[in-house]
Amino acid sequence: MTFPSIQMNNGEVFSGEKIGELTEFIIKKFSEENLSRDEAIHILTTTSEIIGEYAIVRLSD
């Protein structure tokens, strides 16, 4: 998958290569979990509501 790089509101550039890599990873995971389209959309919407653009995503202990 090829995506253009984008400039975020905080001034950083998010590379198109990384966007494609992560998009493929997420779609593959949804496929492995046998999610329907509606289930996948629900997960993406819920995730979007939880993560703010300026947040640093970290695994909690």
Q: Where are the domains of the chain?
A: 6-54
The pLDDT of residue 1 is 81
The pLDDT of residue 55 is 66
DSSP state of 13: E
Low-confidence ranges of the chain (pLDDT < 70): 53-55, 61
Residue found under tokens 């400039």: 7
One-letter identity of residue 7: Q
The pLDDT of residue 41 is 97
What is the reported pTM? 0.75
User: How far, CA to CA in Å, does 46 sit from each of 9, 24, 40, 54?
Assistant: 21, 19, 10, 17
